[in-house]
Amino acid sequence: MVRERRKWTQQEDSLLHAAVQKALTESKPLLWRKIAEAVPGRTNKDCRRRWSNSLNVDFSKGPWSESEDERLWNAVRKNGTQWSRVSEAVRTRNSDQCSSHWSQTLNPEIDYSDWTGKEDEWLMLGVQQHGTNWTSIVADYLPHRTSLALKNRYASLRGKLKKATTTKTIDDSRAINSFKLPLVFSIEGRGTEAVTIANNSSESSSFSDDEDYEDENDGEGHASPPHENSQATRVISHQQQQQQQQQQQQQQNCQIC
């Protein structure tokens, strides 16, 4: 069951501050389970985080110094991952800061090498299972990578995928717009016509012959194909020549008579 998060009251802050100061005055380590007993309704983790993140003015913020890194190294070597004790040894950083700085920066097991294809597959599988809960993905799939490294790598992969998809879409569009299909077909009794069809609507279709020809089924006022007109003209000329020859023969016969 998930506890409802609620804001700290001024009274709770006062109780927490008094309990911490008492422990420090007695030169006792900050045992948060013991301190939490002085703040009803708050757990040891609640008290530790509240003190570390809000009430303790001695903790530094911002980049870590070399001396802080060295103290953190020594504290982890001595106390392991007991971050409360590590924080006490570092003095200038709270337990959350110590944990984060160690796991993201100083841990010698961190892998800073180039990512492999297999690691990318594990990362995407982890995102499918855990979403962007990088800590869970580190624990289940990539223990030698930091959560920050996972976050940055995932952002990089998404950027590359988006760029590749955009580029492919543009290339496909250009290929479609530049595509032309040559088509040759024959109409019975009307010769062969060559037609070029382009998918770009701004380009007009080109016809090699008979551009003014209209099909006989198109309606009124259709014109005859040019090659049919030429054939008809040749027939008429031949008939005229035959008539002229017949007239000349008749005139010659009349002269003989």
Res 73 pLDDT > 50: yes
Does domain 1-57 correspond to CATH entry 3.50.50.60? no
**181 strand-pairing partners:** 197
Query: The dihedral of CA 40, 44, 49, 51: what is its sign?
Result: positive
pTM for the model stands at 0.46
Equal fold, 1-57 vs 117-175: yes
Tens-place pLDDT, residues 208-240: 444 444 444 444 444 444 554 555 555 556 666
Which of these CATH numbers, 1.10.10, 1.10.287, 1.20.120, 2.30.240, describes 117-175? Answer: 1.10.10
Q: Please give the angle made by the CA atoms of 149, 150 and 156, to the nearest 5 degrees.
A: 90
Tens-place pLDDT, residues 75-90: 999 999 998 889 889 9
The answer to whether the beta carbons of residues 101 and 72 sit under 8 Å apart is yes
The full set of domain ranges for the chain reads 1-57, 59-108, 117-175, 179-208
Res 59 pLDDT > 60: yes
**Assigned CATH class of 59-108:** mainly alpha
